[in-house]
Structure 1
Amino acid sequence: MKKGSELDGCKKQQILAIRKGKTMMNTFTLVELVKKYGSKAQKESLKKKGNLSGKEFILLCKTVYTEWESFTVEGRGSKRIITCYGKRQKKLERVDNRSKNGQGQLVGEFELNSLVVNYLIQKDNKVKPMSLNMWLTELEIVDRKLIGALYGSRIGHLEDVQKEFGKVHKEYNKADNDIEMLDEFIQVSLKSLKSNLVSVFNKLVKAKVIIHQKEVWGCTLHNNHRELKQKEIKEIASLRRTLLNAYALTGRDLFMTRMKEVKAFRDEFAKRLQQELGLKYYYDAHFCVIQDSDLGVNEYLERLKQNGELDFTFGLTEASAYSMVRVYKDKHSERSLKLSKEREKNTTNRSDSDRVKSLKTLKQYAPMWEVLLQYFRCTDNIKINPPNI
């Protein structure tokens, strides 16, 4: 047995082979071990790739441990030799250390991890700090149609959505304040996507895949983008706090964009931002790079992947990256639609606008959300069907 042999991400096990009354041992090649203890998925993976990923091997070893007291691993990859010691008289139950058993994990986390890593590789690890909206656009997760509706006029979009919704819901009566529903969709959708992206940045940092830094940037009156100085950041925070107090608002109130006090706040804040700091607007910019290593990027990522601490892949072709984007968008949209159906049941939410409350009461809130997901090309997977009337 080689000194310091390891389990490729599993806990290192240094053992004595001789124990009183328990000297049974057995040696397996990787193929033999998978054949005896592997799951159907692990057997298929080995047959297809001739090897197991780090995460797959870790899961296999957890199964082995339920029948053997200890084991060692020699060699690497498909040439690994696994020696098991001390056959248990009674098989152990698999220990599941996941406190929430999968709950709370991000929808499409594997895809989003992989897309971020792949983007940095494609850009040769030279990416300037960007807003989260720009990151989502660059990753092609958010269609430019949605970004156009965020920053530009929404009237044309509203008319198109009303027309599409009217085709499948004959009882729908369009109204001018349907714009409130459009506003909610844009804000809620982007907030969810941006939150997921930040979570992925944090997980990639924790797994030592990337270095991530958040900076505050501003757009000047001459359309130049630059990082703001600490003094400027403090002045902006002070101005924002002063105006919130002046209009008797809290930060959460700003989500209610149709509220007259919120409109007044935004107008004055933008005006004073230009007058006092020479800025059109400011934003959080996120800077990411893959961590440096003497191994080189690909070798370094492969080692991290084998460790199994984070589920991701890299080296995507243009076609596979496109496919992964579609999978992520479909997964996120299915989750988004499910949550909209839950929100529809809450007709007493005080932050809802009048039109949103009305659509919830008419049971048209979630169906319109479904149309919006399709209209803004958030998914191709959801099929719009007329309701059963």
Structure 2
Amino acid sequence: MTVEKTLREVVELHGTEEQRKCVLEGKKWRKESNDALMKELDSIYESVDVKGKGYSKKFIFGEEKVIKSDKKDNRVNNGKGQVPLKYEQAFPIMMLQTLLERQDATPLTVIGWLQKMGFITTEMFKACKIRYNDKVLGTESSKLVKLKKINEGEDYLVKDYLVKEVERLSKYFMHVVKKLKDAKIITHQSYTMAKCEIPVINEYYAGGQMVRDVNHQTRYIELSPYVLEQISTIQANLQNSIEFRELTITDINKYKNKPLVMEYWKECKKQLNEVIDESGERLYIELVYDAHALFIKAGRNPIIKWLEKNNREAIDTYNSDDMKYFLENRMEFHETLHNYVVELAEKRQKKFQEDEKAKVSELGGKINLRQFEDDKYKKVKDLMLKGKYVEAYQKLQEYYGYTFK
């Protein structure tokens, strides 16, 4: 399956900050910028075709590579870290088990699939909303303080944990989806969806007066190319406007509590709500998101087919008692995941401490243990500096993760 995107869309997804700024300001798209972008695209996609010139360029992409390759200028990409073997072996089996047992075909978000397949708990699934809403973060943090899972003032540690762990699992989930699809074991279809809140007006007489009630009916729809083009135009026009021109793509997507970014999303949401479809009907869009439909494709037992090429030693165990195999596989995954999460936290803390000591060695003086305490966004670094980050992070993993105790 091929995907076609405009130059603006491609730069937003894969370009550097300099390239994004160039496009947003409408400056000349130079050959040097195009060559650098093409090197990046060639490392990500199996094929890239280009039609047109300048800002009228259209990029036609083939399948995305399972693993991002080295760039043609011989620089090595930054995603070469390996997950533990048990993690790698168990992940696809948990996915296939769910798909074999599933009765409906409703597309789900990646986080929805992670919860459905047992990679994250229901508690963690619900808490994921705090990644986008600081009000929810406050409520969740208060609950965790009462449960003695965090201390007062460690709100941002909760966000740090959920963002890191959900993003890591999400990326690996899509990586395994690609591997299973390439192995012709599953079919994968992605959709751009929208949550729509449609007003329903009910008028009636009560006490001799006309009463008008307005309720909202929630609908979930797949967006057509016509609607997607309108949404892209809204975002491009806002980013090119005088009011929001100074914002980078990183600002817009990462720093959602920044006042100007909040204004951007407020205006974007207002205009999205006014989008119409091909027939001229207003859609009342509240949220745009990606959803994925996954189906078993292999003609014979897909688990055997996968194990034959990836973990032959497990075939006898699976054949002798498949339910016992599924349970042990799941338990091994979550035990490995727990250790892996803590191990990565230890590495982050160690690296941060080493970097801070290096700064002190260069500049002289002592480490200021209180330098991060006045800023909630730096509280995590303060915990690292004091050597308390790993213990606090592990408590969250034990609370949100599966423990099988």
TM bin (shorter chain): 0.5 to 0.7
Verify the 8 A CA contact 1:114 1:312 in the aligned structure 2.
no
Aligned match for 2:326, one of 316, 321, 326: 321
Q: Output the CA distance in 2 between the equivalents of 1:181 and 1:194.
A: 20
Contact 2:94 2:118 survives alignment (8 Å): no
Contact 1:113 1:311 in 2 (8 A): no
Q: CA deviation at 1:331?
A: 1.7
Shift of 1:166: 7.2
Match of 1:94 in 2: none
Aligned equivalents of 2:288, 2:127: Cα separation in 1: 19
- Deviation (angstroms), 1:273: 2.1
After TM superposition, give the deviation of residue 378 of structure 1 in Å: 4.5
**Letter of the 1:272 counterpart:** Q
Match of 1:217 in 2: 193
Give the conservation status (yes or no) of the 8 Å contact 1:113–1:200.
yes
Give 1:73's aligned residue.
none
Q: Which stretch of structure 1 is more off in the superposition, 144-153 or 218-227?
A: 144-153
Counterparts of 1:1-389 in structure 2 under 5 Å? 104-107=81-84, 108-123=87-102, 126-151=104-129, 153-163=136-146, 174-175=152-153, 178-221=154-197, 222-244=217-239, 246=244, 248-253=246-251, 254-276=253-275, 277-291=283-297, 293=299, 297-298=300-301, 302-303=304-305, 305-308=307-310, 320-344=325-349, 345-346=351-352, 353-379=377-403
SS in 1 for 2:393: helix
Question: Aligned with 2:274: secondary structure?
Answer: helix
Matching residue of 2:36: none
Q: Secondary structure at the match of 2:273?
A: helix
Q: What is the SS of the residue equivalent to 1:129?
A: coil
Shift of 1:133: 0.9
- Displacement of 1:352 in angstroms is 9.0
Counterpart AA for 2:393: W
In structure 2, the CA distance between the partners of 1:375 and 1:267, relative to structure 1 (3 Å rule), is farther
Measured in 2, the distance between the counterparts of 1:363 and 1:289 equals 46
C-alpha contact (below 8 Å) 2:149/2:399 kept by paired residues: no
Corresponding residue SS for 1:154: helix
The 8 Å contact of residues 180 and 258 in structure 1, kept in 2 or not, is answered as: no
TM-score scaled by length of structure 2: 0.57
User: Residues 165 and 371 of structure 1 are in contact (CA less than 8 Å); yes or no, is this contact kept in structure 2?
Assistant: no
Q: Judge which range, 279-288 or 318-327, deviates more.
A: 318-327
Q: Which runs of 5+ in 1 are unaligned?
A: 1-102, 382-389
- TM-score normalised according to structure 1 size: 0.59
Gaps of 5+ in 2: 1-79, 131-135, 198-216, 276-282, 357-371
| Pairwise CA distance, 1:194 | 0.6
Q: Determine the C-alpha separation between the residues in 2 that align with 1:304 and 1:319.
A: 18
Shift of 1:340: 2.1
The one-character-per-residue Cα deviations of 1:76-99 (angstroms, maximum 9, x if unpaired) are: xxxxxxxxxxxxxxxxxxxxxxxx
Pairwise CA distance, 1:155: 3.2
Over the matched positions of the two proteins, sequence identity in percent amounts to 18
Q: Which amino acid aligns with 2:195?
A: C
- Of 343-352 and 252-261, deviating more is 343-352
Tell me what 1:74 maps to: none
Task: Name the aligned partner's letter for residue 132 of structure 1.
Answer: V
CA contact (8 A) 1:110 1:312 kept: no
State the AA in 2 paired with 1:208.
K
2:89–2:311 CA contact under 8 A, matched in 1: no
Tell me the amino acid that sits aligned with residue 228 of structure 2.
I
Deviation, 1:327, is 2.3
Query: Which of these two proteins has the greater Rg computed from alpha carbons?
Result: 1
Q: Deviations over 1:274-320 (max 9, x none)?
A: 23352121211111112253xxx32x653554345999877885564
Distance 2:393 2:254 in 1: 18
List 4+ stretches of structure 1 deviating above 6 A: 309-316, 347-352
1:151 CA drift (Å)? 2.7
Once the two structures are superposed, residues 62-120 of structure 1 have per-residue CA deviations (whole angstroms, 9 ceiling, x without a partner) of xxxxxxxxxxxxxxxxxxxxxxxxxxxxxxxxxxxxxxxxx744441221111111111
| Count of residue correspondences | 267
Partners in 2 of 1:304 and 1:138 — Cα distance? Answer: 21
